[in-house]
Structure 1
Amino acid sequence: MRKSGQIIIRGIVQGVGFRPFVYSEAEKYGIRGSVKNLGSEVRIIASGDHFDEFLKSVSKGTVLSRIDSVEVLDLEENADHHPRDFRIVESGTGELTGFIPPDVAICDECVKDIFEKEGRYENYWATSCVNCGPRYSIIREIPYDRERTTMEEFPCCPECKREYSSPRSRRHHAQTIACEKCGPELELLDKNGKSVDTSDPIRNTAELLDKGRILAIRGIGGYHLVCVENSASRLKKCLGRTEQPLAVMGLRDTIEDVCDVSTEEKEILSGPEHPIMVLYKKDPASHSDISNLNTLGCMLPYTGFHHLLFSHLKNPLLIMTSANSPGNPMITETGEAVDKLSNCVDYFLSHNRHIQNRCDDSVVREGYIIRLSRGYAPKRIGINLGSTVILGVGPELNSNATIYKKGFTYTSPHVGNVRNPPTLDYLRETVEKMERIIGAEYDFIAHDLHPQFLSTRYAKEIAESKGLETVAVQHHRAHIAAVTTEPCIGIAIDGVGYGDDGKIWGGEIFAGEITDLKRVGHLETVLMPGGDLATRFPGRMLYGIMQSDEVLELLSARGWGDIELGVLQKQVERRFNVAETSSTGRVLDAASALLDICRERTYDGEPAMKLESVASAGRCESWDLEYTSDEAGTVLSTRSLLETALEKMKTMKTAEIAASFQYNLARGVAHMAVGAAEKYGLENVAISGGVAYNHNIRTTIIDELEKHNLRPLLNSELPLGDGCISFGQCVCAGLMMR
């Protein structure tokens, strides 16, 4: 039985209350020694009769920690290793492989503290402890100590110092400890940014919201636009997003009254991440001013401020949406917020804690991550890609970045659409901060195959400045690589991705290993008249697939003028400014146009999302599927599916046609995968791409695969959409280079 030793614990052990946890366990088991933070590892000097019990306990870690390894070494014969007590010693530097955990929601104990009458934290909005609160958004450097966070600007008062130093306190060595006497403060401002005199800014904010005012509120990772439901239409009109659904925040009982919430969804809603959950409304027509879909994005209060705000509110729901235009980075600074938002905001509620790293709300649907951000990112995943250090700069839309180093990938929070110069700057900023925290010195830069993407240009800039090689990774192969590194059939179904042949892919079947994934099937290649214009006006996409007089008559009846129709016809005839695509997303757009569900896309994914919402009320039937073949393999005719849908419009309800279209498109995709699996002798089928969020399409594909004893694989750690691409780029590049 061992009585002493040096314990080295590696992993995510910073910002998770690990040192105070070790201290309390040492006290429990009568252990003498010390604990020291060394970047991505904690080193413990321990002596005592109950060493083994102590070792077993500390090896489990805290709720927020992630343990990679535990190593025990003999102690040298040195008096310093055998102190009479146990203490936490000053942090040092070490190997940077653990990274910093994401921001997490306020814990139940801290919520109790803020409502405890005459307690130290009564009504204090920024209350936190070792188990909760901001992490990534405040970190400047590691090791994670207060002086290397934005909390450095708020020296602890004597009461906080005592609690910080007390082993029996939940805030023992909590770097974010603060109270009303010494911590960050709130300030209410008018629409011009001038301070409003108030002794209780949270109560006043609640009163203003209940009166129908719109506020911009500075949160953990940036500004939100906030209002009650009666002001939703005004907010949407002001933002120019009259159709786009908005997220809401409410207490648990309210959300469960409005939406169907499964046991799993309840756990995710109330977990440490507290994401926005896309839930099905109990009444699909309800709350239409917030969302005209059959779903509603809901989240629970995740900071002390939110809990205090709801304690004063009369309205049960708050609209809470990011205060930035789509695809642009979150607004973090009050001056910028006043400049950009004063045209639609009545008041601002700000605080004086600097946001070092902006971070949007995460979004989850049915257990699948849509937007990887607060609570989930930065995301650290263990994977062996060799000894090289790789940066993956991601795609162009829904971008983020991933760094691989020594057996781990680190994926940043959601960045956005890097077509926008401010978002490209944000990508640069994010990469620079991550590489500094990780200590990354790259060997390769991985990027999308598309030569014109700004992310591709950014990758080449870095490579040129550092004298490095770049590795181009095809978009949909990155999707599959993000799911598995095993030999597999890959189903990649999304909106857009640059293909090997220069065409726009998005409905692809692959077979083989990640380093040699062959395209063995796809959706029919069709025309996109006007290129990107066809994504805005899905009627263009419809005619690009079905060039018939009947389609022209439909468009004419829906307001298309003769000149506009004439231009569309000539574009198609002459192939002028006409792209070619096998995209699943564009086929769903065309179906949405055919059924007159969406005439113009005003936000990303709108036609397909509205199609799914309408389809939820319909029963589906099986249609005949038509296949052809080309040099790549099997081709599913989407023209045939749309022709069937057009014919069904004479006898079937719109909801039933929408449901049937989705079902049969999914059947066709699954059948191509089944055929490929039989041909190549593979049983794993990786499914990725934004279209896989569609419940009926995803479950239909899975059901068809399982009928043939195939094993569907989907990503549970990263988004199914393009938020997994930077990770997939690192995987492809690492395996190719290895």
Structure 2
Amino acid sequence: MQTFYIHIDGNIESAEFLPLVYCVAKEMRVTGYVRNVDRGAEIFFNTSSLLGASEFLQKIKQGAPYVEITSSKFKKIQEHHFSDFNIYNEDDGREPVHALIPADIAICNNCKDELHNSNNRRYHYPFVACPDCGPRYAILKKLPFDRRTTSLNNFSMCEACFNEYNQVNNRRFFSEINSCADCGIKLSILCSDLSILSRNIEIVFSLIKHFLNQGKILAVKGIGGYVLICDASNPDAIALLRKRKHCPTKPFALLYPDIKALENNFEISEQEKYLLQSNASPALLLYPKQSSANNVALSYIAPKLNRTEVMLPDNALFELISHEFGKPLVIAGANISGSPVIYKDEDATLYLFDVVDFIVSHNLDIVVPQDKSIMQFSKYENQSIILKRSLGMAPSFAHYKSKSNYCILATGASLESSFTLAYMDDTFISQYLGNGESYEAQLMYKHTLEHLLALYEVKPDVIIADKNAEYFAHQYATELAEKYGTEVKFVQHHEAHFAAVLAENRLLHSNKPVLGVIWDSGGLGYDDNIWGGEFFKYENNEMMRCFHIDYFPAVKSDKPIPEPRLAALCTAGYVWPQKDLWQNKFTSSELSKYISLALNAATFSSSLNSIFDAVASLLNLCDIQTYSGEVAGYLQVLAEEYVEENGFVMDESYFKADAQFYPIPTALLMQSVITDIQADLDRSYIAAKFYYSIVSLIGKVAQRTHINDICFSGDVFQNALLVDWIQEEYQDKYQLYFHINLSPNNENISFGQMVYYENKITSVFFDTDKRLRDESERAFGNQKVQR
């Protein structure tokens, strides 16, 4: 017999990975032991040959689809005899285990079968889980992950569950979240007077179905927190939910009981089907079929949009609710606008009865709340786009290995807040934490960060923040630096975006220059203006802003302007000042006020997001939006109408070939759009021509900078039609790189800040006040300021 050693690194749920290794060893008659170690698991074992050892490793990898193995080290060592195979899961005096944090896993098919099998002892038990599925991060109090370090530690296993836990051939062998109706989590349904209608599982589900059929609105506690539900086929119930939640147009999501029912109503690819049924089980934006109108009130669910957010049950409770009801359900966030999800029972009973008629709750504490992750695929090129990275995806980020031997904390930006922690070669990116301007979101941010630091018993050695001192994330960074006695470094907003997409695509050490197209709502630039329509060049570990959209007055700082009419006035008012353009958008006093503010503005913006809003307002799609991204969604729908009929074919751009190009002329763009509007051209043509014009900028800049590799980041690239058009226009001409495992929006800022700092990237800034016109100056810059 020979002796071998394997070290397995990755997102390993150690307490449940070890039994898998044990079972494979028993099957192959391998002797030795497996144990948790720093950064994963290690195996010492006897087998007859190198080939047998290799087969052992392969079987372990194949048997663990829920484990994200990032690396495995394999070698023959000095011979040692083992008589049996064992699991060592105690510390044995060693240093604390540095395990990666396991993500929550959607309910598996085996648990679904048990849930619906009347002969199974877990029939209709709404918290069924196993080594392949169930809550992890949501209930984790300490590391490594096992029962005693989770909120399930409050529940003692009954004899039947304990026997399963200890039986080698049982699929719940060493299942740390094992429970059943006899010993596990209890379900209840509450009235507005806080009385409990029932704790009996069958009665609770009967009442849920009855109330939904009556048009009632319910709050239900899921893995990551509470959500609101009602009958998706009942327009009155949806209208009531909108009225109570004060969200007249914000799209809701749809929950379908199974993939077959969803396929009947929506266009869906094999890749989308796979994702919906994956471990992460994100929600997806899909195009409805005509048949959807027969059983869901789509015009009430996603008003004026052509895609709908859909999902499948990700846990046993929602699996039962949706199957018992038998029809699609509306799903809405149980939160105050801009705030994170409500997850504490006391907060649910305090706030949610203003919106709901009944609350369905349970007695398992949620430690880390999370929203549902959301993704979409572009329609024509099938490019995946993460819109929200949260439940099932956060927080471990195995796609980037930190190079630092100390702890780095990057605090992110504002609107889509997140933080990144780099520690002992590993990277953790928090789930989406809400709008950082909300007090509730700030509390959630602090809670989540403190929890993560406590899990690893570390404190940051350096803290990275955005330049903008108005951001909560900036202010909290300085507060933490004082608390921990460490330094704070600041990274410019768009350079952080660029660093994030470079790192995701492994271009940080490219031997060629890379063009960064960074378009978003805005972030503070080096010149104290609001940037947001930016082109950067990256070469030799140096970033340089080489082109940008021309500035226009910023009368609302760097926040997305909630009034697209104001964006239209700021970008077009001085170009086309006829009052009839504005008379239906402003009162006389409003117009005078805003013109005065614009004329006397101290800060200017190049935000491309604001230009999208401005064009939408000029096309009378929306003048005052009620949720972030509303007006951009309407403009996309309008442009898609043209593309559906004509393809990606456009006669000309709004940017003329002979136009001066530094800075990129906002005034010319807006004047041309208004000219077409006043010529009464088709609105879908104008919207599509605007898209084409924006896309054409990328080619112009790439030509002038002679760069072939192009990266894209910023919330504008959540726009699937824009991504499609870029790929249609340039995929055969340039190398195009988009975000892969992160959202293009501000959620990636914290990761980019960490990457920028850790890789010692430097910045070169053009003095834009000099309005460089000469070709060589505007492309590469003789007058530049080192930052």
TM-score normalised per structure 1: 0.93
% identical aligned pairs:
27
Q: What pairs up with 1:325-724 in 2 under 5 angstroms?
A: 325-366=336-377, 367-380=384-397, 381-484=399-502, 485=508, 486=510, 487-513=513-539, 515-531=541-557, 535-547=561-573, 552-558=579-585, 560-575=586-601, 579-619=603-643, 621=650, 622-626=652-656, 634-649=662-677, 650-676=679-705, 678=706, 682-707=707-732, 709-724=733-748
SS in 2 for 1:483: helix
Instruction: Tell me if structure 2 keeps the 8 A contact 1:39–1:142.
Output: no
| Distance apart, 1:318 and its partner CA | 0.7
Q: Which amino acid aligns with 2:134?
A: G
Instruction: Tell me if structure 2 keeps the 8 A contact 1:674–1:705.
Output: no
Q: d(CA) in 2 for partners of 1:504 and 1:692?
A: 18
- Cα RMSD (Å) of the superposition? 2.4
Query: Per-residue displacement from partner, 1:494-553 (whole Å, max 9, x unpaired)?
Result: 111111111111110000238421000111211233547981211111111112565532
1:279 is aligned to: 286
Q: d(CA) in 2 for partners of 1:713 and 1:274?
A: 25
Q: d(CA) in 1 for partners of 2:559 and 2:462?
A: 35
Query: Per-residue displacement from partner, 1:105-124 (whole Å, max 9, x unpaired)?
Result: 00011100111122111111
Q: Which amino acid aligns with 1:469?
A: E
Distance 1:142 1:531, change over 3 A: closer
| Distance apart, 1:70 and its partner CA | 3.0
Distance 1:139 1:320, change over 3 A: same
Instruction: Tell me if structure 2 keeps the 8 A contact 1:40–1:95.
Output: no
Q: Which amino acid aligns with 1:369?
A: I
Q: d(CA) in 2 for partners of 1:259 and 1:537?
A: 33
2:260 is aligned to: 253
SS in 1 for 2:196: coil
Q: d(CA) in 1 for partners of 2:728 and 2:360?
A: 49
| Distance apart, 1:711 and its partner CA | 0.6
Q: Which amino acid aligns with 2:39?
A: S
Query: Per-residue displacement from partner, 1:673-698 (whole Å, max 9, x unpaired)?
Result: 3422x1xxx32211011111212222
Q: d(CA) in 2 for partners of 1:673 and 1:233?
A: 48
| Distance apart, 1:76 and its partner CA | 7.0
Distance 1:245 1:670, change over 3 A: farther
Distance 1:158 1:419, change over 3 A: same
Q: d(CA) in 1 for partners of 2:606 and 2:198?
A: 59
Instruction: Tell me if structure 1 keeps the 8 A contact 2:654–2:673.
Output: no
| Distance apart, 1:618 and its partner CA | 2.0
Q: Which amino acid aligns with 1:522?
A: H
| Distance apart, 1:671 and its partner CA | 2.2
1:218 is aligned to: 221
| Distance apart, 1:642 and its partner CA | 2.2
1:318 is aligned to: 329
**Aligned residue pairs, count:** 724
Query: Per-residue displacement from partner, 1:166-197 (whole Å, max 9, x unpaired)?
Result: 11111111111111111101100012322003
Q: What pairs up with 1:113-152 in 2 under 5 angstroms?
A: 113-152=114-153
2:55 is aligned to: 53
Query: Per-residue displacement from partner, 1:567-622 (whole Å, max 9, x unpaired)?
Result: 122222333xx631111100011011101101101111111111112222124632
Q: d(CA) in 2 for partners of 1:95 and 1:11?
A: 17
1:189 is aligned to: 190
2:308 is aligned to: 296
| Distance apart, 1:88 and its partner CA | 5.0
| Larger CA deviation: 682-691 vs 717-726 | 682-691
Q: d(CA) in 1 for partners of 2:29 and 2:437?
A: 59
Q: Which amino acid aligns with 2:332?
A: T
TM-score normalised per structure 2: 0.87
Q: d(CA) in 1 for partners of 2:720 and 2:608?
A: 15
Q: d(CA) in 1 for partners of 2:368 and 2:159?
A: 29
| Larger CA deviation: 41-50 vs 585-594 | 41-50
Distance 1:389 1:670, change over 3 A: farther
Instruction: Tell me if structure 2 keeps the 8 A contact 1:383–1:409.
Output: yes
SS in 2 for 1:368: strand
Instruction: Tell me if structure 2 keeps the 8 A contact 1:388–1:734.
Output: no
Q: d(CA) in 1 for partners of 2:655 and 2:311?
A: 41
Does residue 233 of structure 1 match 2:254?
Answer: no
Instruction: Tell me if structure 2 keeps the 8 A contact 1:40–1:94.
Output: no
Distance 1:85 1:392, change over 3 A: closer
Distance 1:446 1:640, change over 3 A: same
Q: Which amino acid aligns with 1:31?
A: V
| Larger CA deviation: 334-343 vs 58-67 | 58-67
| Larger CA deviation: 637-646 vs 544-553 | 544-553
Q: d(CA) in 2 for partners of 1:198 and 1:406?
A: 46
Q: d(CA) in 1 for partners of 2:14 and 2:361?
A: 25
Q: d(CA) in 2 for partners of 1:274 and 1:530?
A: 38
Instruction: Tell me if structure 1 keeps the 8 A contact 2:99–2:143.
Output: no
Q: d(CA) in 2 for partners of 1:288 and 1:74?
A: 64
5+ long unaligned stretches in structure 1:
none
5+ long unaligned stretches in structure 2:
378-383, 503-507, 644-648, 763-787
Distance 1:554 1:148, change over 3 A: same
Q: d(CA) in 2 for partners of 1:375 and 1:341?
A: 25
Distance 1:28 1:494, change over 3 A: same
| Distance apart, 1:215 and its partner CA | 0.5
Distance 1:76 1:155, change over 3 A: farther
